Amino acid sequence: QVQLQESGPGLLKPSETLSLTCTVSGASISESYWSWIRQPAGKGLEWIGRIYIGGNTNYSPSLNSRVTMSQDTSKNQLSLKLSFVTAADTAVYYCVRDVNWSIGFGMDVWGQGTTVIVSS
C-alpha cells in the first residue's frame, strides 16, 4: 500500500521560503511521477508541478519562477521549495502520485495534506 506523508513548517512570514518534504512508503519514487497540489481554504485545486524519472520537472507557469522540486532516492523523499511566499501562498499542500496507465493519466494516491499559513 502506497502512502505519502507531507511534513514541514506550518507558519511562514512573507518573503520566506516554503520547504516541504513528502515521505513515500510502499513505492519507489524513482519509478513514478509525483506532483504537488495546493488548495487554499474554501477554493479549488492548483497544480504546482511534478517531478519524475531522473529528477526531471515540470512546473506551473504561474509559479515557475519561485518553485523548485527535488528528490532524495536514498530516503525515498520528495521536496518542494517555494520562495518569496506571500499570503496568497496560504493553502493545504498535497503530495500526490501521478500515474500513467496505458489508457490514461490520474493521481491515484494523495497525502493527507499539510497546512501552510503565511502571515506576518
Partner 1 sequence: NVLTQSPGTLSLSRGERATLSCWTSQNVRNSNLAWYQQKPGQAPRLLIYGTSTRATGIPDRFSGSGSGTDFTLTISRLQPEDFAVYYCQQYGSSLVTFGGGTKVEIK
Q: For partner 1, give the closer residue by CB, 28 or 44.
A: 44
C-alpha cell at 106: 490520474
Identity of the amino acid at 19: S
Helix (H, G, I), strand (E, B) or coil at 88: helix
Rule CB under 8 A: which of 17-56 touch partner 1?
35, 44-47, 50
Q: Which residues pair with 49 in a beta bridge?
A: 36, 59
Among 89, 91, 92, 95, residue whose Cα is nearest residue 109: 95
Nearest distance in Å: CB 69, partner 1 = 13
Going residue by residue from 63 to 92, which x/- string records binding to partner 1, judged by CB under 8 A?
A: ------------------------------
Nearest distance in Å: CB 100, partner 1 = 9
Q: What is the dihedral of CA 47, 48, 50, 51, to 10 degrees?
A: -170
User: Which parts of this chain interact with partner 1 (CB under 8 A)?
Assistant: 35, 44-47, 50, 58, 60-61, 94, 101, 103-108, 110-113
